[in-house]
Structure 1
Amino acid sequence: MEFSAQLLTFWVAFSLTKLIPGSDEWGPAGDIVTGLIAIVVGATLPALIFAAPTLTVQWMVDENERVSGVHQVDLRKRNHQEFFFRVQLFGHFDSLAGWLILRNFKKRQAFVRVEFTPTDSARIKRQSVTGGASLVSNEIIALPTTTLAQDDQHSMFYGSIKTVSAGPTLDVTTSASLGSNHRWLTRTFFVNVHSDVSGIKVLE
């Protein structure tokens, strides 16, 4: 939607600059100037109006703050096969559409699904929760969108993962996606969903 708006705005801006009295007498330099004006307007104006908001899941794994990518947990020197994690949902918007979309998400009780796989070798336990987050099943955590404040925490889930006969290693993927009781809300062009951690490698 934003890209289409940029193309349309570029075309409109370029056409309008051609309507400036005397612009047809500017020659090649005038074409360059009008083209640059159209590019600047086409690149900035739609972004301020149509840019999609971002929902980010920030992680703490095994007491390590703000980890990213694939995180490794070493349980080989421990007496227990359990480690702790925290996931926090943050919202960010830079446009009018982004603000309206997040507002509608809150009204429609949209949430971000964090899905753990595989689950036959691990068990997820809840330790504490804020903002209405919930453990839907052994493999899915739901993080609701509960606030419109810029870069503020929407919800948080603090839990642990206990491994069960995983063997020498266990690779857990942690995909994040938008969820809602209203199917049309889950369209990906409405929002960018980002997760700091894409997986956890457990060494036993």
Structure 2
Amino acid sequence: MIIGLTGGIATGKSTASLILNEQGIPVIDADIIAREVVMPGKEAYEKIVAFFGDDVLLSDKTLNRAKLGEIIFNNSEKRLKLNEIVHPAVRSEMKKQAELHLSDGNPLVIMDIPLLFESKLTHMVDETWLIYTHPDIQLKRLMERDGYTEEQAVSRIKSQMPIDEKKELADVVIENNGTKEDLKQKLLRLLQEVKKTDFMK
């Protein structure tokens, strides 16, 4: 079984990923894979350089992410092209890693995908779990964590799909309005429920 884990900024998704990984469950992180597939020698890297040119490379031949970001920020056509190169490579690598973990005898694999709903990737998983935090707590946590003003924090939260919209789409909603220990206990209980289902026997 593959579970798609998602959340919003400062809701605790990364903490949940760590807790699940500590229980011996393989976690495939979409953000990490997105960085790996554009390393020198990878197919996506070659395609990016072929399209954008050597200007987007640093002296060590790795991608200059800041430069690439500037280019696509101001050009929707080029942004679309970059997504067309990177997204399929990320999906393919995630699927490959999930299949390896399952064939190794792991009955459960977590795919940590921040933009699970926005990128319409629910077809890649069997069930979606959302780490949900009340919007007021989300705002407070973000301000404390990153030292943002309220205005800065609000603008970052507003750049994402509202957490309450994600709540409507998720199969399982895990409330994370308390401590890290509260979240851990909820996840452990959820894993116990999952283990009672047929596929974990």
User: TM-score, normalization: structure 2?
Assistant: 0.23
TM-score, normalised by the number of residues in structure 1: 0.22
Structure showing the higher helix proportion among its residues? 2
Could you say which structure has the larger radius of gyration? 1
Question: By percentage of residues, which structure has more strand?
Answer: 1
